[in-house]
Structure 1
Amino acid sequence: MTFSSSCFDQELMDVSAFEISNFLKSKSFADHRLIQRGSRSANVSSLRYKAFGPLQIAEYSSGSSMEVRIPNLDDAYHLQIVLSGEGHCVFDGTSLPIQAGDSIMLTPGTEYTLGYSRDCVQLSVRIPLEFLHQSAREFGYFTAGGPIRFIPRGVNVINEGPIRHLLRDVLEFDVRNTSERAQLYYAKLLCHGILQSHESGICLNDRVNPSEHRHIAQIRNYVLDHLTEDIGIGDLVELCRISRKSLYNLFEKETGQTPSTYIRQLKLETIYSELSGDDRNIRNVTEVALKYGFTNLGRFSAQYREHIGELPSETLRRQSH
């Protein structure tokens, strides 16, 4: 399966695999080390590269068996798709086979070794960490702080799901004739498709009232970026550059809540996501509550049960089983 990359920024044909590696490093695509296996075939590698809004897209083939070691992605996720041939991904001592049509999401903070067959063609999409997180929030997902942890698992996105069609559209767009707004729109849709098709530890929020008002959205993003801090009304007034009275009136109209209640519910939703996730390092409810600024544990448990529908200890107990 191949995509029609008719509109790309740069193309390298009949070059060495190391020329492609150096090109991608020059674009800050990913810190990596390339190791060629078996006999070297000189100048048979190819690359098509495209920048689309916040995304960077590379379709490449090496013409020989290849191993790519990635020490740390730092500030970006990578969607890796094997278009033809086969490969494997090694992480945390586990080797995952990847067949043609399969995709995996590489997460910041994990070391990976990717291996590809001689006839392998890969498509890689670099997604900035903050952009994926912001997109997740806009589509109603909650993260438990830190990077979204995708479970490395082969997902066939070529034969089914929305990613195939979204990528095809993105690759066919000529960025010179495509507005920045349209590029952002399609990039966010691709993030949404990834969140739907690739399993992770985040969940959809269906409790906090949504609002499309720009100040509410601005505050929501600010709170989610500073969840473990003590956020005061003054911080929100300064952020939106409106009066305290205007802030309270806005929240009453848009959410039916006070700003403090809204902040608390965002924190409770995040705690729920953390307690019900797959982090085995959580020892008890107390450390999580204190992390997000709930010092009165009795009041915290009551507020959590009122908003979530169960005690925090029940959420953690269910996750442990």
Structure 2
Amino acid sequence: MMNAQLLSQHSRVFDQADPYAVSDYVNQHVGNHSILMPRAGRPLASLGHRKFASLDLCRISYGASVRVRSGALENIYHLQVLLRGNCLWRGYGQEHYFAPGELLLINPDDPVDLTYSDDCEKFILKVPTRLFETVCDEQRWRYPGQGVRFLENRYQLNELEGFINLLAMICQEAEASEQVPRVQEHYTQIIVSKMLSLMKTNVSRLSPGSQTMTFEAIADYIAQHLKQDIDSDELARQASMSLRSLYGLFERHAGQTPKNYVRQKRLERIHACLSDPTCNVRNVTEVAMDYGFLHLGRFSDSYRKQFGELPSDTLKRRH
């Protein structure tokens, strides 16, 4: 059923070829790995391949019981659909024989250890990590600080509604006589969005209203750490989102960049302290340096712009 849909003969790069030649090509285009071949016989491998925007589509059979291993894929995800035969997956002290119609998901930091049966043929979709960050930004989902992780690595294709048809559609587009880059990019976004919504991941797909809660949580974190070094990277990590999402959040809720917001909050805290007779302050320099303002001239200038007077005037007025 699936065989006719996922890459046709038009995409064939190798037909009845040396498995090592196919393996070299896979290393260049699909993902780093090494293969261990059976000692006897002369197996013949086949491979179809297409670039599709920033994805790679691949259909492969080694023609022998080949063991494929890799430390980790690093900055790519592999989605592998078994079309024929079976494939033994080993990892994290477990093993599973994948059968036709099953889908294996490999995270960038997962070790790869797969043994193909003689008649095994599979379709591989290679997805760069940055695509998941882009889609999370656009959907306003919380991008995890450590990156997206698929929490389950095994699925039945027929349980993922419409996903096989979507894969077939991008294969068809990839083989179309006229390539339209914009169309390919749209399909790429759709397929990554579907992966995030159909499969179990560590991405929090929050409702739009909860963005406010996220901003309040970040504002609270800033308020508690004003005397410490707070940069945008650290805030993005704390909020489990990308820098781009963080900047968007501050633009919507505070109308300024995270850096300017932190500076404003520090100035407000200093102003409150200089105004309050119960706050133990010996001089302006000490309190300014306490909050990370090392250039006193610039600090006084920013303070005057915000409060209409010099910090020394505020301090004098409280006595």
Scaled by the length of structure 1, the TM-score of the pair is 0.63
Equivalent residue of 2:118, what SS? coil
Letter in 1 for 2:166: L
Is the CA contact 1:103–1:157 (under 8 Å) kept in the aligned structure 2? yes
Range with greater deviation from structure 2 (144-153 or 59-68): 144-153
The CA RMSD measured in Å over matched residues stands at 3.3
Is the CA contact 2:106–2:153 (under 8 Å) kept in the aligned structure 1? no
**Structure 1 residue runs without a partner (length 5+):** 210-222, 241-246, 264-321
TM superposition shift of 1:119? 1.1
Question: Could you give the per-residue CA deviations for residues 174-227 of structure 1, whole angstroms, max 9, x where no partner exists?
Answer: 465132111111011111221123211122021227xxxxxxxxxxxxx78971
C-alpha separation in 2, matches of 1:53 and 1:8: 18
C-alpha separation in 2, matches of 1:224 and 1:164: 38
TM superposition shift of 1:4? 4.7
Aligned to 2:236: 227
* Closer/same/farther in 2, CA of residues 40 and 176 from structure 1, 3 Å limit: same
> Where do 1:64-103 residues align within 5 Å?
64-103=64-103
C-alpha separation in 2, matches of 1:146 and 1:175: 37
Equivalent residue of 2:168, what SS? helix
Is the CA contact 2:72–2:108 (under 8 Å) kept in the aligned structure 1? yes
C-alpha separation in 2, matches of 1:224 and 1:83: 43
Range with greater deviation from structure 2 (193-202 or 14-23): 193-202
* Closer/same/farther in 2, CA of residues 229 and 147 from structure 1, 3 Å limit: closer
Equivalent residue of 2:237, what SS? coil
* Closer/same/farther in 2, CA of residues 158 and 259 from structure 1, 3 Å limit: same
Aligned to 1:271: none
Letter in 2 for 1:149: R
C-alpha separation in 2, matches of 1:64 and 1:96: 19
C-alpha separation in 2, matches of 1:21 and 1:53: 23
Scaled by the length of structure 2, the TM-score of the pair is 0.64
TM superposition shift of 1:12? 0.8
TM superposition shift of 1:24? 1.4
C-alpha separation in 2, matches of 1:37 and 1:91: 22
* Closer/same/farther in 2, CA of residues 60 and 141 from structure 1, 3 Å limit: same
Aligned to 2:137: 137
* Closer/same/farther in 2, CA of residues 150 and 37 from structure 1, 3 Å limit: farther
C-alpha separation in 2, matches of 1:144 and 1:6: 37
Letter in 1 for 2:65: S
Letter in 2 for 1:95: E
Letter in 1 for 2:16: D
TM superposition shift of 1:117? 1.1
C-alpha separation in 2, matches of 1:147 and 1:102: 25
Is the CA contact 1:52–1:175 (under 8 Å) kept in the aligned structure 2? no
Aligned to 1:168: 168
Letter in 1 for 2:181: E
Percent of residue pairs bearing the same amino acid type = 18
Is the CA contact 1:104–1:154 (under 8 Å) kept in the aligned structure 2? yes
* Closer/same/farther in 2, CA of residues 195 and 38 from structure 1, 3 Å limit: farther
Letter in 1 for 2:142: F
Is the CA contact 1:8–1:171 (under 8 Å) kept in the aligned structure 2? no
Letter in 2 for 1:187: T
Q: In terms of Rg, which structure is larger?
A: 2
Question: Could you give the per-residue CA deviations for residues 54-101 of structure 1, whole angstroms, max 9, x where no partner exists?
Answer: 001110111111211011111111111111111122122221331211
**Structure 2 residue runs without a partner (length 5+):** 213-231, 260-319
Would you say 1:40 and 2:49 are equivalent positions? no
Aligned to 1:128: 128
Would you say 1:182 and 2:191 are equivalent positions? no
Equivalent residue of 2:127, what SS? strand
* Closer/same/farther in 2, CA of residues 56 and 117 from structure 1, 3 Å limit: same
Letter in 1 for 2:199: H
TM superposition shift of 1:26? 2.5
C-alpha separation in 2, matches of 1:4 and 1:37: 28
* Closer/same/farther in 2, CA of residues 8 and 199 from structure 1, 3 Å limit: farther
C-alpha separation in 1, matches of 2:78 and 2:141: 19
Equivalent residue of 1:5, what SS? coil
Aligned to 2:59: 59
TM superposition shift of 1:138? 2.0
Q: How many residues align?
A: 231
C-alpha separation in 1, matches of 2:101 and 2:127: 20
* Closer/same/farther in 2, CA of residues 199 and 74 from structure 1, 3 Å limit: same
C-alpha separation in 1, matches of 2:98 and 2:233: 35
